[in-house]
Amino acid sequence: MKLGLKDKVVLITGGARGIGAATVLAFHSERSNVIFADRDYESGSKLEKSIGPHGKFIEAELNTPESCRETVEKTVSIFGGIDVLVNNAGFNDGLGLETPPEEFMNSVRTNLLHVYAMAHYSLPLLRRSQGCIVNLGSKVSETGQGNTSAYAAAKGAIRALTREWAVALAPNNIRVNCVMPAECHTEQYEKFFQKSKNPEQTKQAVSHLVPLSHRLTTPAEIAKTIVFLSSDSSSHTTGQHIFVDGGYTHFDRAVSHDHDKWQ
């Protein structure tokens, strides 16, 4: 599907693996110029080699405003501007309410600061291009998960900032939306399964909870939604929280219940 994104400059954070890497490949298939930043040098370099001259990898931690500013500046030096910013980087570190407040704030900073900083430093370029921002949220900001206070707080803030920025930037014709995954089969999630006593049984149990097709969402399905929201095909869509989760978050729990066990 060609969405008019040829030669558009797309900056993606956390683009070396998982949803980020799938998003890099999805934009590349649309013949966009893709910059992706990540701290994983090995995975990032490998992905860069696989997509050729229209994809560039920047090794960056994105844990300080300076590193975010430098990433934006490098993007401009390579491709001349920014049309789309995808704030994908993030990590569920499982810090619950027993976590000391200092560690809680450090975790929130890790998952949130770069989202604000990347948007802040990209803003003049997005105003020039009348581009868009796509943030990556999480179902935990809607449902809760338990024992992940810091991550939930950061993702809740990202949801709020999505709507705040959509309102603030509407006069500039800049659209801002948030994609909300739930049970997505990333490498990180696979590591969680492998740590369980019976990895395959655990995976099947989680998959059964997803109403649509009883399977986990793929990173590619998340990526396609990000690409669509970045294109003119969604030119009047802004301030939205789009759940790509097979109905996991909002469907009645009875949908996923095995009633035969109780008959």
| Structural domains of the chain sorted by starting position, each given as residue range(s) with its CATH number in brackets | 9-184+217-248 (3.40.50.720)
- Please name the residues in contact with 103: beta carbons below 8 A apart, sequence gap of 6 or more: 95, 150
Q: How many angstroms separate the CA atoms of 145 and 79, rounded? A: 40
Say whether 116 is catalytic: no
Backbone angles phi, psi at 136, to 5 degrees: -105, 120
pLDDT, tens digit, for every residue of 121-162? 999 999 999 999 999 999 999 999 999 999 999 999 999 999
What's CA 199's distance to the chain center, in Å? 25
State the catalytic residue, choosing from 116, 151, 189, 248. Answer: 151
Count of Cβ atoms closer than 10 Å to residue 130 Cβ: 12
pLDDT, tens digit, for every residue of 27-47? 999 999 999 999 999 999 999
No. of helices (H) and no. of strands (E), the chain = 9, 7
**pLDDT at site 85:** 99
